[in-house]
Chains A and B, each alone.
Chain A
Amino acid sequence: MELVCLGLNHRSAPVEVRERFAVPPVRLGEKARELAEAQGIEEGVVLSTCNRTEFYLAGPSGDEMIASLRRVVDTGASDHWYEMRRLDAARHLCRVAGGLDSMVLGETEIFGQVKDAYRRAHAAGATSGVLNRLFQRAFGIGKKIRTETSIQEGATSVAGTAVELAEKIFGKLKGCRVIVIGAGEMSRQTAKALVSRGATSVFVTNRSFERAESLAEEMGGRAVRYDDWQATLAGVDVVISSTSAPHPVVKPFHVEAVRRVRKFRPLFLIDIAVPRDIDPEVGEIEEVYLYDIDTLEQLAAEARGRRERQIEDCARIIDEELEKLNLPGT
């Protein structure tokens, strides 16, 4: 019995190649059964996400399984595909489930995608002794990696860092009100990240009112005329500013003017413009937490560094657990 993994991912293949071999979630089980019925293959699981398509197979001969798979999937002679066998294949699955092979190191969405792929293959009758044990152990290892290391701690992007900080200030973001000053791409991403975590009442203001309306519509929010944004400041919790103005747009007197009305509630200011939109002196006001693009990028880089330092610990966990499993085919 041998275990084999054949696949391509965001590192080995560009998106135009990956999309050719992508399998929709509803067809994962059917595809796995088709493989398991092919010559020389006894078990199969197909994993397909936006960043990877991988086939995990178990059968008597690795070479025979690879040949059968290439016939069924028609991989051609492309060098985008990587091939792993025995323990390397098992180790790779565990790395994938633990988020170590993801584009964003340590991300957790992949864990659910691997689980879903296995569940569909299992339901289609494409798995048996080897892959059942391997995948169950891979899920256990994925959980262990998340609980025993800090591989998933800290946001690794500017938008993610802003959301984490907002949650540190306001807790759950449900009911949080946000104003976006300047409808650029960066502010759009940050606002979207906040909305995805529950922020409501998004106000968008921009020199071009049409652009403000367009972004507001996308966010399910409301556009505000550029001359009127100061009045909105009294009612919001988060300000995202990203205009191309050459001078500060938000000045201390803007915030001072609404402090009493706000009852001195915390105010989170995110300045992602260069040159900066928010006068640094605004950060001196007691209830204001001001973060500029440099600080956010530095925090994201630190989080990435912390995650990378966890890789060795994760690899040790994987090796220890696979050794305990002593799976045939590895």
Chain B
Amino acid sequence: MAHGRRHSIAFHSACVEGREGSWGGVYFWFLIVSTLLAAIGGAVGVRSLRHGHRSRATVFWMGGAFLAQLGFLAVRGEARGACPLIGLGEILVFLAWSLTLIYLLVGPTYRLSLLGLFSAPVVVLFQGMALIPGVLERDPQRVVATNAWREMHSAMSVLGYGALGLAAVSSVMFLVLDRQLKEHHLNSGLFRNLPPVRELLVSGRRLLWLGWLMLTVGVVAGFRMPHEGSAGAHLIAAVVVWAAYAALVGISQFRGLTGRKFSLLTVLLFVVSLSVFAFV
């Protein structure tokens, strides 16, 4: 039995090595292209703002970045034989993909101008971190035994984080606009092009609900999946994050929160919640 398992691992390693021959480095190129496209999208947006108007092209640059992210995930997924969510590098790219996906769905739907401009730096940051040597596993090993609950836990959690990340981006936009309105600094291109206060708050709340619901599914799936020895700390951190988001969603929905407190908490919670991945 043990011999058979060793044989199986050796076989999969050989498969991966075989793929490395044809696929080796391709995912890095996808990642570099995606990061560059997102950076260009952000830069184009900033340049347009300096000229007093918003760039309509940012959404297309972000669309290009999304396609390149898909290319990366497809190649890594092929190599893994599973959802590519193993190790910090893949998680960071999956997070960036999830944030871009939700931006592409939400931005045009709610006509939230400048959401792309504010999302692009987060995507560049996540993917830039993944590109740091050593963060992304160069030789992705094929996953021998996959489990539906594990796959659902990983995918739903990261998708949820994408929505929560975008809620944080929308909250940063609110905080900028709120400060400008409070201090009567109303002449910048940024002010003229930011969406109205109420729309930012409504979209932030909806994204928070969406992210929290997906996180709920992810956490439930996390309890159902088979556990290894080191999973305890990760699950505890995930439950704490889930509970904190539940409190924020509940309080803002039923008691009400000022826009500033809601936004500060959304940004803070997102930054703190990323620590969950330290326990992966």
The verdict on A260 contacting chain B, using a C-beta distance below 8 Å, is yes
Residues of B close to A165: CB separation below 8 A = 181, 186
Indicate if the CB atoms of A286 and B52 lie closer than 8 Å. no
The verdict on B198 contacting chain A, using a C-beta distance below 8 Å, is yes
| Size of interface on A: residues with Cβ below 8 Å to B | 22
Indicate if the CB atoms of B184 and A263 lie closer than 8 Å. no
Indicate if the CB atoms of A289 and B181 lie closer than 8 Å. yes
The verdict on A20 contacting chain B, using a C-beta distance below 8 Å, is no
Q: How far is the CA of A204 from the CA of B200 in the complex (A)?
A: 30
Indicate if the CB atoms of A168 and B184 lie closer than 8 Å. no
Binary contact track B157-193/A, C-beta < 8 Å → 1, others 0: 0000000000000000000010001101011000110
Q: How far is the CA of A266 from the CA of B258 in the complex (A)?
A: 8
Indicate if the CB atoms of A264 and B197 lie closer than 8 Å. no
Q: How far is the CA of A260 from the CA of B256 in the complex (A)?
A: 8
Residues of B close to A287: CB separation below 8 A = 258-260
Smallest CB gap from B186: residue in A: A299
Indicate if the CB atoms of A169 and B198 lie closer than 8 Å. yes
Residues of A close to B182: CB separation below 8 A = 283, 289
The verdict on B255 contacting chain A, using a C-beta distance below 8 Å, is yes
Smallest CB gap from B262: residue in A: A264
Q: How far is the CA of A275 from the CA of B177 in the complex (A)?
A: 29
Given known pairs A150-B52, A260-B256, the reply for A169 and B196 (CB within 8 Å) is yes
Smallest CB gap from B195: residue in A: A171
Indicate if the CB atoms of A264 and B258 lie closer than 8 Å. yes
Given known pairs A169-B197, A171-B195, the reply for A265 and B181 (CB within 8 Å) is no
Smallest CB gap from B177: residue in A: A168
Smallest CB gap from A265: residue in B: B256
Q: How far is the CA of A287 from the CA of B255 in the complex (A)?
A: 15
Indicate if the CB atoms of A170 and B258 lie closer than 8 Å. no
User: Most B CB atoms within 10 A — which of A168, A260, A286?
Assistant: A168
Binary contact track B185-224/A, C-beta < 8 Å → 1, others 0: 0110001100111110100000000000000000000000
Indicate if the CB atoms of A170 and B196 lie closer than 8 Å. yes
Residues of A close to B259: CB separation below 8 A = 264, 266, 286-287
The verdict on B26 contacting chain A, using a C-beta distance below 8 Å, is no
Indicate if the CB atoms of A168 and B261 lie closer than 8 Å. no
Residues of A close to B187: CB separation below 8 A = 302
CB of A163 to closest CB in B, whole Å: 13
The verdict on A153 contacting chain B, using a C-beta distance below 8 Å, is yes
Residues of B close to A170: CB separation below 8 A = 196-198
Indicate if the CB atoms of A168 and B258 lie closer than 8 Å. no
The verdict on A21 contacting chain B, using a C-beta distance below 8 Å, is no
The verdict on A229 contacting chain B, using a C-beta distance below 8 Å, is no
Given known pairs A286-B261, A302-B187, the reply for A168 and B255 (CB within 8 Å) is no
Residues of A close to B261: CB separation below 8 A = 264, 286
| Size of interface on B: residues with Cβ below 8 Å to A | 22
Q: How far is the CA of A265 from the CA of B255 in the complex (A)?
A: 11
Residues of B close to A81: CB separation below 8 A = none
Indicate if the CB atoms of A264 and B196 lie closer than 8 Å. no
Residues of A close to B247: CB separation below 8 A = none
Q: How far is the CA of A262 from the CA of B197 in the complex (A)?
A: 16
Given known pairs A150-B52, A291-B184, A302-B187, the reply for A171 and B198 (CB within 8 Å) is yes
Smallest CB gap from B199: residue in A: A171
Indicate if the CB atoms of B256 and A263 lie closer than 8 Å. yes
Smallest CB gap from A150: residue in B: B52
Residues of B close to A150: CB separation below 8 A = 52
Indicate if the CB atoms of B197 and A153 lie closer than 8 Å. no
The verdict on B257 contacting chain A, using a C-beta distance below 8 Å, is yes
Indicate if the CB atoms of A169 and B181 lie closer than 8 Å. yes
Binary contact track A33-52/B, C-beta < 8 Å → 1, others 0: 00000000000000000000
Q: How far is the CA of A171 from the CA of B197 in the complex (A)?
A: 7
Residues of A close to B201: CB separation below 8 A = 266
- Within 8 Å by CB of A153, from B192, B196, B257, B260, lies B192
CB of B153 to closest CB in A, whole Å: 35
Indicate if the CB atoms of B197 and A286 lie closer than 8 Å. no
Q: How far is the CA of A287 from the CA of B197 in the complex (A)?
A: 10
CB of A37 to closest CB in B, whole Å: 47
Smallest CB gap from B111: residue in A: A171
Binary contact track A274-297/B, C-beta < 8 Å → 1, others 0: 000000000100110101000100
Residues of A close to B196: CB separation below 8 A = 167-171
Q: How far is the CA of A271 from the CA of B198 in the complex (A)?
A: 21
Residues of B close to A299: CB separation below 8 A = 184, 186
Q: How far is the CA of A307 from the CA of B154 in the complex (A)?
A: 54
Indicate if the CB atoms of A264 and B256 lie closer than 8 Å. yes
Binary contact track A178-213/B, C-beta < 8 Å → 1, others 0: 000000000000000000000000000000000000
Indicate if the CB atoms of B197 and A295 lie closer than 8 Å. no
Residues of B close to A266: CB separation below 8 A = 197-198, 201, 259
Indicate if the CB atoms of B52 and A168 lie closer than 8 Å. no
Smallest CB-CB A-B distances: 3 pairs: A263-B256, A171-B196, A286-B258
30 contacts between A and B (CB under 8 A): A150-B52, A153-B52, A153-B192, A165-B186, A167-B196, A168-B177, A168-B181, A168-B191, A169-B181, A169-B198, A170-B197, A170-B198, A260-B255, A262-B256, A263-B255, A263-B256, A264-B256, A264-B259, A264-B261, A266-B197, A266-B201, A266-B259, A286-B258, A286-B259, A286-B261, A287-B259, A289-B182, A291-B184, A299-B186, A302-B187
Binding site for B on A (CB under 8 A): 150, 153, 165, 167-171, 260, 262-266, 283, 286-287, 289, 291, 295, 299, 302
